[in-house]
Every structure is written in structure tokens, then in C-alpha cells.
Structure 1
């Protein structure tokens, strides 16, 4: 039935054209923004998950930056600790040379004094942003002997809050354990005094029967160069282990951050090839819809022919 009051064909054509135009607008926005889910209205569940993942990703990015700085702080301490070990080995060599009676003890001591000053400089300069791991009071933390760096966030399934993991680096007191003891040394004036600084005061005895010379350490060895070398090697090893852990954690956090970025993209990013094909189809549907509406609007006019 044809009616000049109600044009059902035009109503249907108009509704179809409106839906096509709506989908065309969504597709055009998807292509221009590159996102399939832009707001909660586009898909509230997916949008909420993606936003949570975005906050975690941004947090991991900050954590990675902090780990990068921490790695530099610890590596600086390790490099200076290794340098101190090398200096102490040279000091031991010079003391060993001075323990021979044909050596000039005073000249060797001049070089040793310079090395001791160099060790002090290495300890004092071993800092980044004020954090010095070769001094027990140099971390600025609470306690001042610990340097704490955030290592990761831990989110349990379904939880709305996160826990965290931290890496704690204990500072090594090179000032007290090494430099202060070196500074307390008395300048040796004899080969025996130089020998005593290597591993402690030494008494020599000659066996009357065999003529064999035996040496006995008779004084406390905490201040000997061998004890200082042992402390420095152990301290450098501890710091080196922390450096390796921090660098490994930085790499792991970077991978997690990248995986989160990929996951977010999988949830909200647009498939541009698919969107492009959909756009062309919708543009065709729009043209057909316009033509269909035009045809439907012409139908009532045909009624006039019945009255001619």
C-alpha cells in the first residue's frame, strides 16, 4: 500500500543510512587514532584492562630508569674498589722490595704514600648523585649503610593493588677498613719494618742445627696490607654480585615493559588493513543508502499519476 502520510520505505532507508553513517564515523575515527578502543564507551571491559596494563607499563618504565641509575652507582663503586685492590697490590710489591736490605726504603715509601692518597681519593670520589657505596654513611638511606632500589611490581590475579620487590646494596666501609688503617701506618725505616707491614710484625729465627730460617708473625695482622687486600677483594666481589643482579633485573623489567606494550596494543590497537577494507565497504553502503532513500522519497510522487 502506498501512502502520502507514511513512507515506510523511506523510514527503512533512513534508518539504514543512519547506521551506515554511524559505523563510518567509528571506522574513520579508528583509522585516524589508530585505536579500536578509545574510551570506555567503545568497550568498557577491554578499556579497563588496557588502562590497568598502561599504569603498570608506565611504572615499570620508571623502575627501569631507577635500575639504570642504580647500576651506574654500583658499577662506579666496583670500578673504584677494583682500583683500590690494584693500588694495594702495588703497595705490597713496594713493601716486598723494601724488605730486602739492598733497597732504599725511603724512596719506596714515597711511592706508597702517593698510592695511599690515591686510595683516599678513590673512596671519596666513588659517588653518583651523592650515593657512595665505599663509605658506610654515604648512601643517604635509612640506615645510611644501605642503598635500596625498587626492582619490580608484583600484581596478583584479580588484585587491585600491587606489591613490590627491592634490591638492597650494603655499602662497604673502605674508609675505616682500608684508608684509616693505611693512614695509621708508621713510615718504615728498616727492611724488617717494611716486611712487618706486609702481613704483620715478623720475628726471624735460625735453627742452630739445620741453619734454616723460620719466620713468625708476632703482631696483630688487621692492619697488614694482605688483610687490607683480602677485605677489598671481598668487598668488591659483594658489590660486583649486586651490580650483576641489578643489570639482570633491569633487562627483565625492560622485557616486561615491552610485553605490556604489546599486550595493550593487542587489546586496543586498530587493524588498519581490516579498517581500510571496512571503510571502503561502508562508503559504498552509504552511497547505496542515499540512492535508496532518494528512490523511497520518490514513491509518493507516483501517486499523483493516479489522479491525472
Structure 2
């Protein structure tokens, strides 16, 4: 049946053409933007995921910048620390020179004073973007933002690399601190004078029966250990060797005959971490200040380790205040103690520089990791929303052909109505 009121063929052709045009518009949009999902209407879930990940990637870009700032700060601190170490080596060589007989200590002190000023300048100059880890008002934890973390619940957290400035600061102005690596115990307050300090030779034990052995350590009369200083020696007994350390105290540890030596030495030797809490060594000091040890004989008289001896006696000062050094009137014993103290300070600075080097390596590694993560996120987002250009170009050509055919079909369907007029012609 033919009808001039309803043209079913034209309606079908029109709907087909509309569908083709809609698909063609979508394909042309994908080709123009490069996105398969350019807005929420295209795929709400994928669009939401991609938008969130792009936002996170933007935050990670800021983290990468923060790591760059942290790397610069560490590099500044490490450079200043290394120069400070070299300057300390120079000061140490000056102390060695001052230990020579008939040397003008005043001239050497003038050189040391200039080197001391250099050390303070290095620490104060190690500043980047307002931050200084080598000259601090008080020790604390400095943080370098290192990572951006989105948890499974959707919450956000920032990972940091922590730098403890108490371990790397050359100078620390906090009165409750130890003053930093270079600003600890004042030279004038530290007792380096080991006058009369002697040590007995390391000899085989003199066993007086099965339960005792004794050895004379030497005379320590006139020695006082102030806070921050120490005396240590190696003690061998029954084949085992341990380092025995006497630490100074606030107000001074009196190592004279009538002082604190007996109690302090017994506590150090009988410590559970050395020869055992039950070792039972006793210390005696005679009227001349001669120190003797008496302890139990080893379990077996045939034991090859039946030797009680001491070696490597040395005095040290922890965290010496380098800026307070003045050798103009220093004695030979004081110079010897000072040399040991500076050597310990050089070791502390070297350790701090190693810590900074390790942090620098970690920051570089984290920078590389963040860059790779950002690239991985971009690839992941691309898998969700990017258009496949080869596929879309193929679709475009096919849809253009379908559009042309749809127009032809609609034209034919509309022409069928004109044919009805022929039925009414004479």
C-alpha cells in the first residue's frame, strides 16, 4: 500500500542517517581531540579515574620539584661539610707542628684562629632557600617531601625523607644540646693534662693461688675527667679482649687515689657487656696512686689465654669546641690530648658527610622513581581514555561512505511519493 501520509521508507532512511551522523561526529571528535573519553558523558567511570590520576600526577610533579630543592640543600650541606673536614685536617697538622720543641705556638695559633673563623663561615654559608642544616638554633628533624601516596581508601599521604640535624650540624646553639660536631666541650673546660698518667706493661698474670690474678695499671694521680672527655684502654683476660672506657662527668670524675677511680673502674670492668657481671675484679689504689687490679683466675690453669694486660691507653674529648682551641700555653700532654680530640672530630665530620652522601643518593633515586611513576600513570590513563587513531581513521572512512549511502537512500525514499502523482495523470 502506498500512502502520502506516512512514508515508512523515508523514516527508516532518516533514522539510519541520523545514527550514522552521530557516530561520525563521535569519531571526528575522537580524531580531533585524540581522546576516546574526552568528557564524563563518554564514559563516566573512566573519565573519573583519569581525572583523579591526572590530578595526582600534577601533585607528583610538585613532589619532584620538592626533591630537587632537597637535593640542592643536601649538596650545599655536603660541600660545606667536606670543606670543613679539610680545614680540620689542616688544624690537626698545625697541632702536630706545635708539638715540636722550640716552636713559636703564638704564630701557629694565629693560623689556627683564621682556620677557626673559616669553619664558622662555612657553616653559616651552607644556606639554601633559607634553610641551613650545619648551623642551627636547635637540633631537629628536617623533612624533604619524597612521595605522594593515595591509599586504597582514597585518602592522601605524603612520604618524606627525614634528616636529623643533630647528627650533621657543625654548630648547634641550643643550650640543652652538645653544641654540634664542632661546638661541644670547651678546650679550657676539658682536662687534657695526663701528667703522671702511666700504664704498666702488659705482662703475664701473676697468679697467687687459684682464685686471683693481679696487674699494676700505673699511676693516675692528678687526672680529672670532665664531661665530654674519657680515658679508654684495652684489657685482655683469659683470651678475651675488651675496651674499658671511663667517661667524664658533670663536675669532673676524680681519678686520684682518694677519688672516684676505684668505683668507676670496677663498674666498667665488671659490666655485663665486658667480662661478665660476675667477673669479680677488684681495684685498689695505694698511697702513691698506684692502681692495681685483682680478679679471679681463669677456669683452667692450662688455658692459653692466661694473661691479664692493658694496651692502647688514650684520652679523648667528644664534641670538642673547635672554636675554643688556643694552644699558646698548652703543655705537651694537652697537645697530645687535643690531637686525639681533633682526630675524633674529623671522624665525626666524616661520618656526618657520609650520612649526607647517603641522603643525596636516596633523593636522586627517589627523583628517578617519581619520574618513572609519573610516566607509568600517564600510560595508564592513556589506556583508559586515549583514542586508537588507526581504528578511528578506519571508522571515519566507513561512516563517511555510510553517510553518503544514507543520503541517497533518503532521497530515493522521498522520491517514491512523487511517483504516486502518476496515478492521477490522464
Matches within 5 A, 1:78-117: 78-101=78-101, 103-117=103-117
3-state DSSP of counterpart to 1:42: coil
Q: Following the alignment from structure 1 to structure 2, what is the Cα–Cα distance between the partners of residues 196 and 45? A: 73
Q: Does 1:301 align with 2:418?
A: yes
Match of 1:185 among 314, 322, 325: 325
CA contact (8 A) 2:105 2:327 kept: no
3-state DSSP of counterpart to 2:65: helix
When the two chains are superposed, the root-mean-square deviation of aligned CA atoms in Å is: 2.0
CA contact (8 A) 2:126 2:133 kept: yes
Deviation at 1:195, TM superposition (A): 4.3
Deviation at 1:134, TM superposition (A): 0.8
Residue 149 of structure 1 is matched in structure 2 by 144
Residue 208 of structure 1 is matched in structure 2 by none
Contiguous gaps of at least 5 residues in structure 1: 139-143, 200-223
Shift in CA distance, 286/242, structure 1 to aligned 2, threshold 3 Å:
same
Q: Following the alignment from structure 1 to structure 2, what is the Cα–Cα distance between the partners of residues 277 and 116? A: 77
3-state DSSP of counterpart to 2:180: helix
Matches within 5 A, 1:266-285: 266-285=383-402
* Deviation by residue 1:234-263 (Cα, 9 ceiling, x = unmatched): 222222222222221222111111100111
CA contact (8 A) 1:105 1:191 kept: no
Higher strand residue share:
2
Deviation at 1:105, TM superposition (A): 3.5
Higher relative contact order (Cα pairs below 8 Å, separated by 6+ residues): 1
CA contact (8 A) 2:182 2:345 kept: no
182-191 vs 7-16, which moves further: 182-191
How high is the TM-score relative to the length of structure 2?
A: 0.61
Deviation at 1:88, TM superposition (A): 0.5
How high is the TM-score relative to the length of structure 1?
A: 0.84
* Deviation by residue 1:217-236 (Cα, 9 ceiling, x = unmatched): xxxxxxx3112212211222
Deviation at 1:189, TM superposition (A): 5.1
* Deviation by residue 1:181-205 (Cα, 9 ceiling, x = unmatched): 1221114357836544312xxxxxx
Deviation at 1:102, TM superposition (A): 5.9
Structure 1 ranges of 4+ moved more than 6 A? none
Between structure 1 and structure 2, the one with the greater Rg is 2
Match of 1:253 among 366, 370, 377: 370
79-88 vs 103-112, which moves further: 103-112
CA contact (8 A) 1:101 1:191 kept: no
Higher helix residue share:
1
Q: Does 1:165 align with 2:159?
A: yes
Contiguous gaps of at least 5 residues in structure 2: 172-178, 184-320
Count of paired positions? 278
Matches within 5 A, 1:203-242: 224-242=341-359
